[in-house]
Amino acid sequence: MNIKTEALVIGAGPVGLFQAFELGLLGIECCIVEALEHPGGQCTELYADKPIYDIPGTAYTTAADLTAQLVRQIAPFNIAIHYHQTVESLQQTKQHFVATTATGSTFTAKQVFLATGAGAFTPVKLRTEGISHYEDTQVHYAALADTQLTGKSIAVTGDAQAAVDCAIQASRHAASVLFLHRKRRLDANEQSLAQLAELTDNGTIQQIKGKITDFTAGNKLENIIVQQSPDLCTTHPIDLLLVRQGNSPKQSNLESWGVNTEARHIPVDTANYESNTQGIYAVGDINSYPAKRKLILCGFHEATLAAYAAAARLRPEKPIHLQYTTTSTELKQRLGVTTTDKG
């Protein structure tokens, strides 16, 4: 995949999504790359259902609801979000930046916005020695299509919502589902836990408390060995192993991108939230400046000023006037609304 765009936003957390909105509002073409398989970043990964009380104009929301509204907000601009794309290198040419991801995809842009927060969230891998050999063939950390699950013997391992949802989804298509977890109480919502309990009671899903310590294989992975207690190990035949042990943030080597850092953060000019490299902006928790506060609402402000700075650089021949969505015909046309629309 090779994509060219005016602006590239790295990170689809709340600030990255709002950055894309501000760019769209100013008529700047952009796309977003995100390491996870869903938008929301750290918010939805770590506390999707927890309440948030400090978003302006909203007395109460959750990370999941806030993310859904931000995705809805950028919909008029048809901004593509490319999931499972972790940027590993960012190189500068005379006129562009070229971002290359772990999958080999490239994104060429004139301006880059780093909204990476604590870093790209990457899957927590199994520590079973040698099992990594079967990654992407039989061991999977990302979602599979339903057709890939049909008729298979599947094992799912994990302790949280993603693992529970994965086991439930797999049970609709697989020949058998083994659900492995380490905790007695799973970290999932009550509705999912009730559904899991029902599927376990009727024999659709087999649950085991234990960890994978070994496996057997010929030309392919054949069995996993699960330690259920110090004195009990059991062997289970599988076709696919779906690992949902959560994700952990991993910060890129920003220095190799030509971006200066201090204590793993990017110092920025608060006039435009630009880094030391012209055309690379840093917004949200990844940046630093005097009196910085790591709040979502502060990130929204930073994204707004960064977008205006980028517009001035991309359109030097066109004055960038402040316009209001309440009165500007141009902005309303970009948003696809009429005078009678209320959102």
More confident position, 253 or 185: 185
Asked if residue 177 belongs to a domain, the reply is yes
Query: Do 9 and 107 share a domain, yes or no?
Result: yes
Asked if residue 343 belongs to a domain, the reply is no
Asked if residue 342 belongs to a domain, the reply is no
Which of 217, 245, 273 represents a domain boundary (last residue)?
A: 245
Average pLDDT, rounded, for the chain: 91
Burial of 79 (0-12, 13-18, 19+ CB in 10 A): buried
% pLDDT > 70, the chain: 97
153-211 residue pLDDT tens: 999 999 988 899 999 999 999 999 999 998 888 888 899 999 999 999 999 999 999 99
Query: Do 97 and 151 share a domain, yes or no?
Result: no
Asked if residue 341 belongs to a domain, the reply is no
Q: Reduce the secondary structure of 70-138 to three states and give it as a string.
A: HHHHHHHHCCCEECCCCEEEEEECCCCEEEEECCCCEEEEEEEEECCCCCEEEECCCCCCCHHHHECCC
Q: Which strand (E) or helix (H) includes residue 52?
A: strand 51-52
CA 210 to CA 225: how far, in whole Å? 10
Query: Do 183 and 101 share a domain, yes or no?
Result: no
Query: Do 192 and 231 share a domain, yes or no?
Result: yes
Closest CA to 43 of 239, 226, 295: 295
Say how many domains are in the chain.
2
Query: Do 130 and 102 share a domain, yes or no?
Result: no
> Which residue bears the tokens 């609801």?
65
Residue type, 334: R
Asked if residue 340 belongs to a domain, the reply is no
Average pLDDT, integer, range 101-123: 88
Q: Whole domain around residue 87: which residue ranges?
A: 2-122+248-335
Query: Do 228 and 158 share a domain, yes or no?
Result: yes
Which of 245, 261, 294 represents a domain boundary (last residue)?
A: 245
248: confidence class by pLDDT, cuts 50, 70, 90: confident
Query: Do 110 and 253 share a domain, yes or no?
Result: yes
CATH number at residue 276: 3.50.50.60
339: confidence class by pLDDT, cuts 50, 70, 90: low
For 23, other C-beta atoms within 10 Å of its C-beta total 28
Average pLDDT, integer, range 223-228: 92
Burial of 46 (0-12, 13-18, 19+ CB in 10 A): middle
Query: Do 170 and 191 share a domain, yes or no?
Result: yes
Asked if residue 206 belongs to a domain, the reply is yes
pLDDT value of position 341:
58
Average pLDDT, integer, range 27-31: 96
Pairing of strands 97-101, 87-92: antiparallel
Closest CA to 96 of 113, 114, 110, 82: 110
pLDDT value of position 148:
92
Residue 343 · residue 73 · CB < 8 Å: no
- The residues, ordered by sequence, that sit 6+ positions from 164 with a Cβ below 8 Å of its Cβ are 158, 179, 186, 188, 192, 193, 196
CA 200 to CA 179: how far, in whole Å? 9
| 102 pLDDT above the threshold of 90 | no
Asked if residue 233 belongs to a domain, the reply is yes
DSSP designation for 149 = H
Q: What is the pTM of this model?
A: 0.77
Asked if residue 109 belongs to a domain, the reply is yes
Which of 211, 245, 279 represents a domain boundary (last residue)?
A: 245
